[in-house]
Chain A
Amino acid sequence: MPEFTSAEYTAILLSLKVSIVATLLSLPFGFSAAYVMTYRKFRGKFVLDLIVNLPLTLPPVVIGYILLVVLGQNGVIGKQILQPLGIKLIFTWKAAVIATAVVGFPLLVRSIRIGMETIDQGLVQASRTLGAGWFDTVMTVILPLSLRGVIAGSALMFARGLGEFGATIIVAGNIPGVTQTIPLAIYEYASSPDGDRMALALCVVSVVISVVVLLFHEYLSRRMIRVD
């Protein structure tokens, strides 16, 4: 096993940081989207479904490029909102968070939705007739009963975030110590003549992190099966 330098440690920590922040930021939005798509009837539901799931089928590079166009200095959001506020996103770790969030969002929403769809509608109706308003019902019935879906979706999104490459490299670049995550570092080592060992070592790190995430997910899921 080769010795990691501070650049590799930074890449590992940055990968973890980007994935964690992207997952945590996406959770309230993902839960809300899943709730709306599961429980609400409205016109244009199909369009929302399409938009939410689009990143799943679009090439990540395309997503990265769209983000670059929208958030860049001449983009709609970049020019109208971010620049006046003095916020610079492109080629920072925050851009990597946004790219990771967009790419992983459909996985999060799908898992939560599956969790919500398994909830007996009678429980929701019972809650309403027992005096709980819709938000109360969401927080005290739907959220606890879809928690497995939330955890599964978060784990999936986190793992997907660790592997995010295409969108990140376009929107955040590949700047060692600043925006270089594990996949970007592996790409760089794999492209250089003497980088094989380091690329492999980072692959091993990726596998270890993924296994830990899956075990943690399994542990939480088992704990949630209530034993009387």
Chain B
Amino acid sequence: MELRVAATKKFCSFDLNVDFTVSQDRIGIFGPSGSGKSTLVNLIAGLQQPDDGIIRLNNETLFDRNIDTPPDRRRIGIIFQHPHLFPHLNVKNNLLFGFKRCTPENRRIDFDSLVEVLQIAPLLERGVNNLSGGEKQRVAIGRAVLSNPRLLLMDEPLSALDDTLRFQIIHHLKTVCATFSIPYLFISHSMLEMRLMADEVLAMADGRVVDQTTPENLARSRMGVSPVGYINLLRLANPRRSDGLYAYRWGTGELLISAGNDQPETLFELSSKDIILFKQHPEAISARNLFRCTVAGTFASANRVGIELACGKDRLVAEVVKQAADELGIVAGSELYAAIKASAFRRIG
């Protein structure tokens, strides 16, 4: 997928002025509320017209001074923040709404396969008013995907869901898009969602694209200004119970986690702020995880220093203030001890 957008749009109190080209299939658009993300989505989908500029998808011009392809002919699907299911149609007819309007030569996604991937077969004959939030969003995903779009725009599709549902829906989104090879733009103000969903990120602020980078680099650059620091994502497997905690193989030893479970594989998040570093082995410590590691590299973010710790094959990012980094003499190759409380890990999926 190649998407080129160079567009301006003026509102009373806000100007959008973007110019970018992306060519990967999993693109994130990251920015705070009011940065112009949803306006950008509307321009790409054709729901709003730019004042000037061009929008081109896979070498087909969707908008310029002479062309303005209407939204129904762009073949760009949207998954909105709210499911927006048609209340006068049941689940099956909602799913088929776009499919029926798709020309036969463009129908490459099979209804039954999609229903299976999204696990919505028991819902098909139900009205949409009696579905749970997660079920509604799954149907909305299915409906957009069945319209066989060339590009899927996901406009904060997870922000109305609680954490448990959020990570279930992320799983469904990733599975569906991977299974049916649908390129997408994932819009969110959550760095965590960016890292789980995107390979390349456009960071937006005040109606401009201020950075185009990888989610990892963006997360590192924002570590110092983010209230939660840098979030380490750890996919841990095969736990064993140990005195009320769960022990997972990690690095050269084990991680003890209080929020573990008996699932064969679990995704945990750990903030860079929750890792304490020692130059020497502490005599006694209450944290249940203490391991020796090597500094693989450092990076600066605001007034913080991010420290990439290597422990065996595994990596973690910790953060300290600059003075602490100087005092401990942290440079690439230094040996350190890292301590993490068992309760610092949060299960997210």
Contacts and interface: CB of A to CB of B under 8 A. Distances in A.
- Top 10 A-B residue pairs of the complex, sorted by shortest distance between their CB atoms: A131-B101, A130-B98, A228-B127, A122-B84, A128-B71, A228-B130, A126-B84, A144-B88, A129-B78, A130-B147
B72 interface: yes
B103 to A, nearest CB: 9
A226 B87 contact: yes
Contact of A130 (B46, B126, B130, B144): B144
Nearest to A137: B72
A140 B87 CA distance: 12
A131 B80 CA distance: 16
Interface string B36-70: 00000000011100000000000000000000001
A132 interface: yes
A130 B82 contact: no
A28 to B, nearest CB: 21
B86 interface: yes
B78 A125 contact: yes
Interface residues of A, number: 21
Consensus secondary structure, chain A interface: helix
A228 B70 CA distance: 35
A131 B147 contact: yes
Contact of A126 (B80, B102, B127, B129): B80
B155 to A, nearest CB: 10
A125 B71 CA distance: 9
Interface string A173-202: 000000000000000000000000000000
A16 interface: no
Contacts, number: 75
A228 B71 contact: no
Contacts of A144: 88
A70 interface: no
Contacts of A128: 46-47, 70-72
A133 B88 contact: no
Given A126-B80, A128-B70, A144-B88, 6 more contacts: A122-B82, A125-B78, A130-B98, A131-B101, A140-B97, A145-B86
A132 B101 contact: yes
A50 B80 CA distance: 36
Interface hub of A136, A140, A145, A227 (most chain B Cβ within 10 A) = A140
Nearest to A147: B88
Contacts of A136: 72, 101
A120 interface: yes
Contacts of A206: none
A214 interface: no
Contacts of B71: 125, 128-129
Given A120-B84, A131-B75, A226-B127, A125 B47 contact: yes
B154 interface: no
